[in-house]
Structure 1
Amino acid sequence: MVREEKKREANTKIVKGTVTSCGDNYGWIENCVFFSIDAMIGPSRLRVGDKVVAFVEEHPLSYDLRAIEVCVLIEDDRPREAYSKIRELSVCVSKVRKDNICLADEYYFYLDSISKAILGFMPYEGDWLDIEYSLERRSSKITIHSLKATKCRHLQEVCVTSIHEQQGVLNHTIFFTFHSLKCPVGYTPLVGHVVNVVVVQSIRPNYNWRAVSMTPVNKLYRLGP
């Protein structure tokens, strides 16, 4: 059966499954999720029996499932060439250019919708990530096999202590940026708001943590000013 990994919105989710049928231009995952060849991420064509991760949308009326992005799930016991051996690394994000994520000024990878949903947030310069990856031959580009924040914490009832332009601070110790912060629809944090947050380890001058999502504690805050 298809296993739900993480919900994105009311009618979208990330699933893992097996390709059960595949033609020249389309196929099915577990006989219930349809995908077209345009949804495939990566150079390899899918085959029956392939394990995949898919970003799936559910039609609001018919409830049909359709994958809009599909990529092969690489198993740890799959034979690989020496240069593509999976390695583990804790590393700092050195630069973010759209979906091009640079690591320690040495390697880079592209963050697609699937890996972004699994990670749960958009990386920011200074974030520390734990990755499993393999090197691509004669390239500084790497293939990501797993991705997570090195340290992640859930904090209850912290206070927004300052906001300046597109950045802010919680409890004078945790920073956030508006363009990389997930909030409930219609909510805008203001100084003095008490919120629950998810924070990840992220290094910048005077701070060691970055808030990646925020939910107001007081319902009166939910619609903003």
Structure 2
Amino acid sequence: MLRLISRALAFCRRKDSSQKEKMQPLRLLEGDTKLKTVQGVVTRFCDGYGLINELIYFTNDVVTGNVLLKVGQKVTAVVEEDETSHGSKAIKVDALSDKCDDDGSSDSGPRVLFGCVTSILEGDGFVNHTAYFSLDVVCKGFEPYEGDWIVAEFSIQPDTWSRKAISVKPLRHKHVYEVCITSLCGRNGVIDDNIFFTLDSLKLPDGYVPQISDIVNAVVVERAHSTYIWRALSMTLVKRLS
């Protein structure tokens, strides 16, 4: 009899331990404030690995429902920052239907979109050709230009099912110091052979006109381009060599 009671207690302890182990990942997800839910499109997928909006890495084992994704598929993803690469990694990916609101809901609350500025016209613009924004929702100091990678909070308008951004900011930006202007052509130019700038959107000190070989400091943002993946937002002269 004592042996039977001992076995029963051991079984209960194992069951309780197993339940705690299953519940632990859920608690971690609920308590981790660095996680974000984003919406985007699969832009690359091969051999079980893929990218969402060319920025968010994911593997096939995090896709729910055993859905076989393909390039162009709309998805929502729970995203965390990868501690090794400091890039974005999806820990859960859900495929969306092709309905107007993507998930069949009428929720008009804000959502997060990683994307590229696809057009700017008369003070208004579009992200990924689908989400509209006006310049008054853009963060201070940032003047969007076609090709810039951005992060936008947007809502779905319940009357038209259209997407409208309520905030827009650059995805990544950085400062570069004492770099050289290597080329100029009309109103466009290049710094260090890899940073694009245009006088149409460049902030300059009063009276300064950029010239080839100028040594400058600049604030740059990431953009979608095969050669020039950064664009200068502002530039100040450090030294003129010629």
State TM-score, norm by structure 2: 0.53
**Per-residue CA distance 1:191-210 (angstroms, 9 max, x = gap):** 00000000000122411100
1:106 to 116, 130, 138: 130
Structure 1 unmatched ranges of 5 or more: 1-80
Identity %, equivalent residues:
40
Q: Determine the structure 2 residue equivalent to 1:83.
A: 107
**In the comparison of the two structures, how many residue pairs are matched?**
137
User: Taking structure 1 as reference, are residues 149 and 143 closer, same or farther at Cα in structure 2, changes over 3 Å only?
Assistant: closer
| Preserved CA contact (<8 Å) 1:182 1:214 | yes
Divergent runs of 4+, >6 A: none
1:208 to 224, 229, 242: 229
User: Cα distance, 1:155 vs. partner?
Assistant: 0.5
User: Cα distance, 1:82 vs. partner?
Assistant: 4.7
Which is strand-richer, 1 or 2?
1
SS at match of 2:200: helix
SS at match of 1:125: coil
User: Cα distance, 1:128 vs. partner?
Assistant: 0.6
- 1:95 maps onto 2:95 in alignment: no
2:201 to 156, 180, 196: 180
Instruction: State how far apart, in whole Å, the 1-side matches of 2:175 and 2:191 are.
Output: 13
2:164 to 128, 142, 148: 142
Deviates more, 1:198-207 or 1:165-174: 198-207
State the Cα RMSD in Å.
2.0
User: Taking structure 1 as reference, are residues 161 and 206 closer, same or farther at Cα in structure 2, changes over 3 Å only?
Assistant: same
Structure 2 unmatched ranges of 5 or more: 1-104
Which is helix-richer, 1 or 2?
2
- 1:14-163 equivalences under 5 Å are 82-112=106-136, 115-116=137-138, 118-137=139-158, 138-144=160-166, 146-163=167-184
| Preserved CA contact (<8 Å) 1:94 1:104 | yes
Deviates more, 1:196-205 or 1:135-144: 135-144
| Preserved CA contact (<8 Å) 2:184 2:190 | yes
Q: Determine the structure 2 residue equivalent to 1:28.
A: none
Aligned residue identity for 2:109: K
Aligned residue identity for 1:110: S
User: Taking structure 1 as reference, are residues 125 and 143 closer, same or farther at Cα in structure 2, changes over 3 Å only?
Assistant: closer
**Per-residue CA distance 1:85-134 (angstroms, 9 max, x = gap):** 1101111000110211111111211112xx34x34121111101111121
Aligned residue identity for 2:112: E
User: Cα distance, 1:147 vs. partner?
Assistant: 2.4
